[in-house]
Amino acid sequence: MRCQACNKLLTDFESTRKSTTCDDYLDLCNDCYSTIRTEVKAMERPDLMSIDDVIDLVDFDDNVC
């Protein structure tokens, strides 16, 4: 499965992220999802997180003002 925005290969964690509004899979990598994170709430599977997912999410949180 690939990111619908940038075509990057998705991890298991990224590929199972679903919208809480419409119950559809978002199919976005962590980088692309971070740009819409405040507008689009999602259900995530933390049990599928790898170290790469954690690093991506920490990098995003560090950039928040």
With bands split at pLDDT 50, 70 and 90, how would you rate the model's confidence at 46? very high
Q: Is the pLDDT of residue 54 over 90?
A: no
Minimal CA–CA distance to 57: which of 36, 30, 37? 30
What is the predicted pLDDT for the residue at 58?
Answer: 59
pTM listed for this prediction: 0.78
Contact in structure between 10 and 1 (CB atoms under 8 Å): yes
Alpha-carbon dihedral of residues 36, 9, 55, 49, nearest 10 degrees?
A: 90
Minimal CA–CA distance to 42: which of 33, 50, 29? 33
Minimal CA–CA distance to 14: which of 64, 1, 63? 1
